[in-house]
Amino acid sequence: MQNRSSITIGVLSDTHLPYRLASLPPQIADIFRGVDVILHAGDVDDIAHLQPLRRLAPLYAVRGNIHLGDRSWGGKDLPWEVHLTLARRRVVLTHGHQPGLMGWLFKVRDVLRSSLSAEGDDLLNEEIVRRLRRRHPHADVVVFG
């Protein structure tokens, strides 16, 4: 897959399995059938719930952020980031939020800031993109959730 010039990537994120969903919706298998690789960009609490995807293609998953209301740690056994070479491109897979307590505090700050702005979520997403560009200047692609 590294040396191919093009591939098909299936991307999903924020499934919050099994806290918000008991399992993946059945149509996911149809949607991802035929992809070369699957990237889960964070917030799966129990990686075992992604096993059906492993039957379709190689799967990479990263840790998400903390959701205290759900008693969710976002997949604490998963890495914060995965660095891959796919179709000759340097790819970073991350949830996008900074890790740990400081990351949670920054998220609260960013959400408050965006809620007070007319731009709302656009402002929050732009801040995440700026932060990821600074953190991964050599990446060709950054996938985040």
Work out whether the CA dihedral 67, 80, 99, 97 comes out positive or negative. negative
- Which strand ranges, in their side-by-side order, compose the sheet holding 89-94? 81-86, 89-94, 141-143
Q: Domains in the chain, start-ordered, CATH in brackets?
A: 9-143 (3.60.21)
CA-based nearest residue to 57, from 83, 81, 80, 86: 86
* CA distance linking residue 69 with residue 76, whole number of Å: 16
- pLDDT under 70: residue ranges of the chain: 1-2, 66-75, 98-100, 104, 114, 117-121, 123
Q: Tokens 């075992």 belong to which residue?
A: 48
With beta carbons less than 8 A apart as the criterion, state whether 117 and 123 touch.
yes
